[in-house]
Structure 1
């Protein structure tokens, strides 16, 4: 039986409803060598982020996926604090972002060491939090992978094979995603356990279809950052093309930013629920399809045995 591994334990599909598959609770987009990187007080994080979680709970959202990984300020302890304060499950990744957001220890580590680290976080737990990583988050350069990014991907693939964890990658170009899938498959992994994050940024819709044909998940995760009509139009295009069973929808919003006073101004996680889904329904998308997009697909993608 598959479970979603969260800050509040492993949860089955029958315990969950709508899941937001790409959001951030805490993120620091400065490079890891900057003073004050990823530093904040729990009190300030709770003050900013608890109201954001309570707002989506009231709309029926039952979990979200934290996409802040190594290199961009992952703070699993802060995720846990927000989760406990709201009794709301959060799925936290292992893995690391692209260059130049790669800490010195990751850059120096062997492929075996990186594999062992990710596998331990997936199987045993993240740091001292007491909960397991739910998935693996990576990234690749816009124009192609560096050798270091390839090493991280190979290590991640081995950890994913051992656990059936999903690998998700912030990769803007569809052709680079195809290169990543080549490496995953060469290592014995499966495109079916990969999500192309920010697929909407690839202007060639033919590549969206090609990724799904290859078995990968695609993700439209800029809802609220662009006019909602634009997001709805792209989702409708994907549904018309038969891509709905492999499509994830989210905001890529949040979040507490320690580089800003008191964490900055939050960007609510509510636009999918309050604007996009009603617009899809008005365009004739049925309830069963909407439940598939918002309940079944995220669980199928991010759950593992």
Structure 2
């Protein structure tokens, strides 16, 4: 039986409703060598982020996927603190971001060492947080995957094969996504266990279709960040093209930023339910499709 691994333990599909597949609770976009990187007090993070979580719980959101990975301030212990304080399950990744957000130890590690690290977090816990990683988050440069990014991705593919964890990648260009899928399949893993994060950033819609044709998930995670009519039109275009069974929708918003006083001002995760879903319904999208996009697809993508 499939379960979604969260900060509050594993959940079956029948225990969950709507899931936001790409958000952030805590992020530090400074490079890992900067003073104060990823440092914050749990009480401060909870105070800032709990109201954002309560707001989506009132909408019927039952889980949130944290997309902050290694290199950009991942703190599973802080995710768990927010989760426990609010009662919302949060889904946390292993893995690492692209260059230059790669810690020295990751850059020096062999592929086998990176694989063992990811498998350890996917089957045990992330550091001393008590949180098991649910999935693998990586990234690739806009101009192409670097040798170090490829080493991380190959390790991720092998870790994914051992655990059935999905691999999501922050990749802006569709042609680079296609290269990543080649690498994953070369390692023996399946394109079906890959999420093309930020698919909407690729202007060529034919590449959206090509990535989906390989079997991968595509993710439009700009709800509430770009004009609503443009976002809605793109979603409708994807549905008309038959991509609904592989489409994920989210905001890519939040979050507590330790580089800013008081953690900054978070942007809410409420726009999908408040604005975009009503727009899709008004455009004729069925409730069955809404359920697929907001419940079925996120669970199937991230559960293992």
TM-score (normalised: structure 2): 1.00
Rounded to whole Å, the distance in 2 between the matches of 1:228 and 1:37 is 34
Show structure 1 runs of 4+ deviating over 3 A: none
How far 1:294 moved relative to its partner?
0.3
- What does residue 282 of structure 1 align with? 282
Rounded to whole Å, the distance in 2 between the matches of 1:251 and 1:173 is 19
Rounded to whole Å, the distance in 1 between the matches of 2:42 and 2:213 is 44
- What does residue 29 of structure 1 align with? 29
Matched, 1:94 2:90: no
Rounded to whole Å, the distance in 2 between the matches of 1:160 and 1:252 is 24
- What does residue 53 of structure 2 align with? 53
CA deviations on 1:65-115 (whole Å, 9 max, x unpaired) are: 000000000000000000000011000000000000000000000000000
How far 1:127 moved relative to its partner?
1.2
Aligned-pair RMSD on alpha carbons?
0.4
Rounded to whole Å, the distance in 2 between the matches of 1:266 and 1:153 is 31
SS of 1:112 mapped into structure 2: helix
CA deviations on 1:123-179 (whole Å, 9 max, x unpaired) are: 011111222101000000001011000000000000000010000000000000000
Question: Where do 1:98-137 residues align within 5 Å?
Answer: 98-137=98-137
How far 1:43 moved relative to its partner?
1.5
Rounded to whole Å, the distance in 1 between the matches of 2:79 and 2:233 is 33
Segment of structure 1 superposing worse, 128-137 or 172-181: 128-137
- What does residue 140 of structure 2 align with? 140
Rounded to whole Å, the distance in 1 between the matches of 2:46 and 2:25 is 10
- What does residue 227 of structure 1 align with? 227
Question: Where do 1:143-158 residues align within 5 Å?
Answer: 143-158=143-158
Mapped contact 2:248–2:297 kept (Cα < 8 A):
yes
SS of 2:288 mapped into structure 1: helix
Mapped contact 2:77–2:131 kept (Cα < 8 A):
no
SS of 1:10 mapped into structure 2: strand
- What does residue 270 of structure 2 align with? 270
Mapped contact 2:18–2:62 kept (Cα < 8 A):
yes
Rounded to whole Å, the distance in 2 between the matches of 1:89 and 1:226 is 27
Rounded to whole Å, the distance in 1 between the matches of 2:281 and 2:225 is 21
- What does residue 257 of structure 1 align with? 257
Mapped contact 2:76–2:131 kept (Cα < 8 A):
no
- What does residue 75 of structure 1 align with? 75
What stretches of structure 2 of length at least 5 have no aligned partner? none
Rounded to whole Å, the distance in 2 between the matches of 1:229 and 1:103 is 40
- What does residue 175 of structure 1 align with? 175
SS of 1:257 mapped into structure 2: coil
Rounded to whole Å, the distance in 2 between the matches of 1:271 and 1:216 is 25
CA deviations on 1:273-296 (whole Å, 9 max, x unpaired) are: 000000000000010000000000
How far 1:63 moved relative to its partner?
0.3
- What does residue 294 of structure 2 align with? 294
SS of 1:259 mapped into structure 2: coil
- What does residue 65 of structure 1 align with? 65
Rounded to whole Å, the distance in 2 between the matches of 1:129 and 1:76 is 6
SS of 2:88 mapped into structure 1: coil
What stretches of structure 1 of length at least 5 have no aligned partner? none
Q: Across the two proteins, how many residue pairs are aligned to each other?
A: 304
TM-score (normalised: structure 1): 0.99
How far 1:245 moved relative to its partner?
0.1
